[in-house]
């Protein structure tokens, strides 16, 4: 392994440089449609443009909505099913819902309804009853955890678009920000706020292209043990943590986050998501989960590369006033999710300083708007 | 051509018998999650279960949401682009939004926010600037027509799941039923109601598997002229009609539909969608669009097969009290969409009678719940 070149995210096949310009054009066209809401007596929350969920002021409360893709994690589940005979689609269902719910809650919304988008490469996919039932059971269990209603969804067979034997999974989620003071689109974010990081359960559902590429370099592939009794494949398939129980518990505890960031694609650079010019100084770095530590070492990534693409043990960031920081972490722990008061927000140029690792990310490292 | 066997929908590769059992299991699991809404002070509109959009009572109004897939129409657009050099993705964008919006409005909702789901086979898809810009421009134009805000979306690159060079397009849509008396989940549907059919613009986005299969049987394929100056491919790619301007105009005209059905997969059998035991008697059949007439003839389908899978000229059905029927059709025409007072609802066993064609569909022909 050590003789091989380091494996970067671009080499793993995802080129954000090709996607991001289209994304920016689309965002501009989308912004120009906001005026339609006035015809219905409503208006958008402009600060939600570019955030993880879109927010509309409908009078008595705000309405938030989102659609999110699982990504390529099913390819790992498919390969592990082939090699072990086990089905991992209950966990995959949780991953998919987590992608939507964890984004929706960043703006302060209570998720209410999830819709399923299960686009298979052919009708045959649904004929494997065991796998299909696992998907249904896992989807329902994740809805139960998030106290969200599963509204329905779409189960198309898309031969010629989705590859034979594969499935493209996504979820849409709609929620309300109620009461309106729960809105957290960053207008209250400022110097002296604390940064609380919530533990991830593993790789979650971002960075899988890299993780799959890496499996090809391992002599035993997904069956490589990363610690006694735990294979690389199983570790990758740990379902993504669901954070909405934490944000709901925070509100019940009287804590209103100033801002939240779901740490997904672009890794810790997501901490720079808000457009404000502020410095984010991290003094405490959560432990890496075993699978992320393994990936970093095997891929030969330095810390900067690893933290710029993977969650590295922190799946969600909550920005609160300093006086609420310890209590915020405790509320998360009471929900069964490890949490750390990890840093502070300061006046100053837009940058993220991960001091224990001597890493600095600047605004140029994250061009999402 | 005449020597070939008729082409059925099943032969075209979509086997609903494999998909529908999973769909039904999923619907049952989904129904069991409704109780979560009570924890947030809300409740579902139970009658919306199994309808085209899911509805939640959030107090001052109802909230409706949906996610919908375009299907395989992009495969026609891709092939036509290859053969003619033209981009059809502006129309494809409208198709995708129509799939979501036309479903959402069936329950009486005003569509407010659309989210884009554009999952490509690789980052390269987004690198074709002309095609990507057409998709953006068409998406925005459809939002403008429907007076809906484009909230944002997801543009993943899914190599290994979505085929190389292809894109899986879907849209989620969220809206409000406001005031609440606009709710149309069928509880008011009953004997003596009239059935008003709105014209389709062509095949819309259902039946494309069959239409593509048929192209393989034509010596000139998509470039076959179905009428002077109009190729089969171009005709297939006519963008799906957007019906939300009609439902909004109806409300402004003081007309509240008792029920609506978006005529998509399963063709006219969708007129049997509501669970009530009622007879739907059609006395006036709208003219077939040229492309659907062509498909029926070339595929050697009898009327029963054609009307059971394709829209055959009617893209949307509105059930209103008889006194509102003529005015409903006129409101649609004023929106630029041809419309016919086509039939009546009667007490009696659940069946659809298309009298001019001597076709009967019974409950057994549509098992969606």
Strand partners, A150: A114
- Cβ–Cβ of B123/A22 closer than 8 Å? no
- Cβ–Cβ of A13/B137 closer than 8 Å? no
Q: Which positions 28-57 of A are in contact with B (Cβ < 8 Å)?
A: 29-30, 32-34, 36-37, 39-40, 42, 44, 49, 53-54, 56
Q: Which positions 95-114 of B are in contact with A (Cβ < 8 Å)?
A: 110, 112-113
CATH code of the domain containing B169: 3.30.1330.10
Q: Is residue A104 part of a domain?
A: yes
Residues of chain A with pLDDT under 70: 1-16, 367-369
pLDDT category at B281 given cuts 50, 70, 90 is: very high
How much of chain A is in helix, strand and coil states, percent to nearest 5?
40, 25, 35
Residue of A nearest to B14 (CA): A123
Q: Is residue B11 part of a domain?
A: no
3 state SS for chain B = CCCCCCCCCCCCCCCHHHHHHHHHHHHHHHHCCHHHHHHHCCEECHHHCCCCCEEEECCCCEEEEEEEECCCHHHHHHHHHHHHCCCCHHHHHHHHHHHHHHHHHHHCCEEEEEEEEEEECCCHHHHCHHHHHHHHHHHHHHHHHHCCEEEEEECCECECCECCCCEEEEEEEEEEECCHHHCCCCCCCCCCEEEEEEECCCCCCCCHHHHHHHHHHCCCHHHCEEECCEEHHHHHCCCCCCCHHHHHHHHHCCCCCCEEEECECEHHHHHHCCCCCEEEEECCCCCCCHHHHHHHHHHCCCHHHHHHHCCCCEEEEEEEEHHHHHHHHHHHHHCCCCEEEEEEEEECCCEEEEHHHCEEEEHHHCCCC
Q: Is residue A23 part of a domain?
A: no
Q: What ipTM was assigned to the predicted interfaces of this complex?
A: 0.94
- Cβ–Cβ of A68/B154 closer than 8 Å? yes
Q: Identify which has the larger pLDDT, B24 or A366.
A: B24
Radius of gyration of chain A (CA): 20
- Interface contacts A/B by beta carbons within 8 Å: 281
Strand partners, A167: A120
Q: Is residue B17 part of a domain?
A: no
- Cβ–Cβ of B133/A25 closer than 8 Å? yes
Residue of B nearest to A145 (CA): B36
**B262 & B338 share domain:** yes
The predicted structure's pLDDT at residue A17: 73
Question: What is the token pair recorded at A136?
Answer: 């249904």
Domain that holds residue B297: 193-365
Q: Which residues of A touch B137 (CB under 8 A)?
A: 29
Residue B213 predicted with pLDDT over 90: yes
The predicted structure's pLDDT at residue B1: 36
Residue of B nearest to A14 (CA): B123
Q: Is residue A320 part of a domain?
A: yes
- Cβ–Cβ of A119/B167 closer than 8 Å? no
Residue B2 predicted with pLDDT over 50: no
**B49 & B109 share domain:** yes
**Backbone φ and ψ of A55, nearest 5°:** -125, 130
Residue of A63, A148, A171 with shortest CB distance to B174: A63
B121-131 average pLDDT score: 91
In 3D space, the residue among B169, B147, B185 whose CA is nearest the CA of residue B54 turns out to be B185
The predicted structure's pLDDT at residue A9: 56
**B171 & B320 share domain:** no
The predicted structure's pLDDT at residue A336: 98
B88-97 average pLDDT score: 98
Q: Are B352 and B361 in contact (CB under 8 A)?
A: yes
What does the mean pLDDT of chain B come to?
Answer: 94
B117 touches chain A (CB under 8 A): yes
Helix axes A73-84, A208-217, angle to 10 degrees: 40
Q: What percent of chain B has pLDDT over 70?
A: 95
**A171 & A198 share domain:** no
Q: Are A311 and A305 in contact (CB under 8 A)?
A: no
Residue B24 predicted with pLDDT over 90: no
List the single best residue of A26, A128, A205, A211 to mutate versus B (max B Cβ within 10 A): A26
Residue of A nearest to B252 (CA): A40
- Cβ–Cβ of B161/A67 closer than 8 Å? no
- Cβ–Cβ of A161/B27 closer than 8 Å? no
Q: Per the structure, how many domains does chain B have?
A: 2
Residue B20 predicted with pLDDT over 80: no
**B147 & B295 share domain:** no
Residue of B63, B137, B161 with shortest CB distance to A166: B161
The predicted structure's pLDDT at residue A21: 77
**A168 & A205 share domain:** no
Residue carrying the six token digits 């035991």: B277
- Cβ–Cβ of B162/A162 closer than 8 Å? yes
Q: Which residues of A touch B32 (CB under 8 A)?
A: 140
Q: Which positions 191-250 of B are in contact with A (Cβ < 8 Å)?
A: 209, 212
A158 touches chain B (CB under 8 A): yes
DSSP state, residue A264: B
- Cβ–Cβ of A44/B170 closer than 8 Å? no
Q: Is residue B272 part of a domain?
A: yes
The predicted structure's pLDDT at residue A369: 42
Instruction: Please give, rounded to a whole number of angstroms, the shortest distance from the CA of B17 to a CA of chain A.
Output: 9
The predicted structure's pLDDT at residue A16: 66
pLDDT category at B12 given cuts 50, 70, 90 is: low
Strand partners, B353: B281, B360
Instruction: Please give, rounded to a whole number of angstroms, the shortest distance from the CA of B326 to a CA of chain A.
Output: 27
Residue B9 predicted with pLDDT over 60: no
pLDDT category at B90 given cuts 50, 70, 90 is: very high
- Cβ–Cβ of A123/B19 closer than 8 Å? yes
Instruction: Please give, rounded to a whole number of angstroms, the shortest distance from the CA of A324 to a CA of chain B.
Output: 24
Boundary of a domain, candidates B156, B182, B208: B182
Residue A132: other Cβ atoms inside 10 A: 25
Boundary of a domain, candidates A151, A182, A213: A182
Q: Give the CA angle between residues B264, B269, B274 to the nearest 5°.
A: 95
Question: Dihedral angle at the C-alpha atoms of B4, B9, B14, B16, nearest 10 degrees?
Answer: -140
Residue carrying the six token digits 């405490």: A284
Residue of B122, B151, B166 with shortest CB distance to A30: B151
Residue of A56, A59, A161 with shortest CB distance to B75: A161
Residue of A54, A129, A170 with shortest CB distance to B113: A54
Instruction: Please give, rounded to a whole number of angstroms, the shortest distance from the CA of A305 to a CA of chain B.
Output: 20
B273-278 average pLDDT score: 94
Q: Which residues of B touch A122 (CB under 8 A)?
A: 13
**B234 & B333 share domain:** yes
List the single best residue of B30, B103, B105, B251 to mutate versus A (max A Cβ within 10 A): B30
Residue B7 predicted with pLDDT over 80: no
Q: Rounded to an integer, what distance in angstroms lies between the CA atom of residue A328 and that of residue A317?
A: 11
- Cβ–Cβ of B74/A161 closer than 8 Å? yes
The predicted structure's pLDDT at residue A2: 38
A72 touches chain B (CB under 8 A): yes
**A211 & A325 share domain:** yes
A144 touches chain B (CB under 8 A): yes
**B141 & B283 share domain:** no
A166 touches chain B (CB under 8 A): yes
Q: Rounded to an integer, what distance in angstroms lies between the CA atom of residue A141 and that of residue A145?
A: 6
**B266 & B329 share domain:** yes
Instruction: Please give, rounded to a whole number of angstroms, the shortest distance from the CA of A166 to a CA of chain B.
Output: 6
List the single best residue of B51, B101, B149, B169 to mutate versus A (max A Cβ within 10 A): B149
Q: Is residue A187 part of a domain?
A: no
**A168 & A199 share domain:** no
Q: Is residue A290 part of a domain?
A: yes
The predicted structure's pLDDT at residue B327: 98
- Cβ–Cβ of A19/B157 closer than 8 Å? yes
**A209 & A332 share domain:** yes
B30-59 average pLDDT score: 96
Boundary of a domain, candidates A136, A155, A182: A182
B24 touches chain A (CB under 8 A): no
CATH code of the domain containing B343: 3.90.650.10
User: Tell me: the pLDDT tens digits for B147-176?
Assistant: 999 999 989 999 999 999 999 999 999 999
């Amino acid at each position: 392994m050590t003789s091989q070149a380091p494996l970067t995210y671009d080499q793993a096949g995802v080129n954000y440089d090709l996607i991001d310009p289209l994304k920016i054009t689309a965002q501009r066209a989308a912004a120009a449609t906001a005026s339609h809401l006035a015809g219905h007596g409503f208006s958008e929350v402009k600060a939600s443009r570019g955030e993880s969920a879109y927010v509309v002021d409908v009078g008595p409360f705000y309405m938030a909505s989102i659609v999110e893709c699982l990504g390529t994690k099913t390819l790992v589940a498919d390969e592990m099913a082939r090699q072990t005979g086990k089905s991992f689609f209950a966990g995959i269902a949780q991953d998919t819902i987590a992608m939507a719910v964890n984004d929706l809650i960043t703006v302060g919304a209570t998720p209410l309804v999830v819709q399923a988008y299960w686009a298979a490469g052919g009708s045959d996919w649904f004929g494997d009853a065991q796998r299909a039932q696992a998907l249904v059971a896992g989807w329902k269990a994740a809805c139960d955890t998030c106290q969200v209603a599963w509204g329905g969804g779409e189960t198309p067979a898309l031969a010629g678009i989705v590859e034979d034997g594969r499935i493209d999974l996504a979820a849409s989620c709609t929620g309300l920000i109620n009461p309106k003071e729960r809105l957290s689109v960053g207008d209250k974010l400022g110097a002296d706020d604390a940064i609380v990081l919530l533990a991830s359960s593993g790789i979650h559902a971002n960075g899988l292209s890299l993780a799959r590429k890496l499996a090809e370099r391992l002599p035993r592939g997904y069956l490589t043990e990363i610690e006694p009794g735990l294979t690389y494949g199983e570790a990758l398939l740990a379902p993504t943590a669901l954070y909405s129980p934490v944000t709901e518990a925070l509100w019940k505890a009287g804590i209103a986050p100033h801002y939240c960031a779901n740490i997904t694609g672009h890794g810790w650079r997501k901490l720079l998501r808000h457009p404000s010019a502020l410095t984010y100084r991290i003094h405490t770095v959560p432990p890496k989960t075993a699978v992320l530590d393994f990936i970093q070492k095997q891929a030969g990534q330095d810390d900067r590369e690893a933290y710029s693409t993977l969650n590295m043990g922190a799946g969600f960031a909550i920005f609160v006033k300093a006086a609420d920081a310890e209590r915020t972490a405790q509320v998360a722990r009471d929900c069964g999710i490890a949490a750390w008061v990890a840093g502070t927000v300061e006046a100053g140029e837009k940058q993220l300083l991960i001091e224990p690792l001597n890493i600095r990310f600047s605004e140029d490292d994250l061009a999402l708007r």
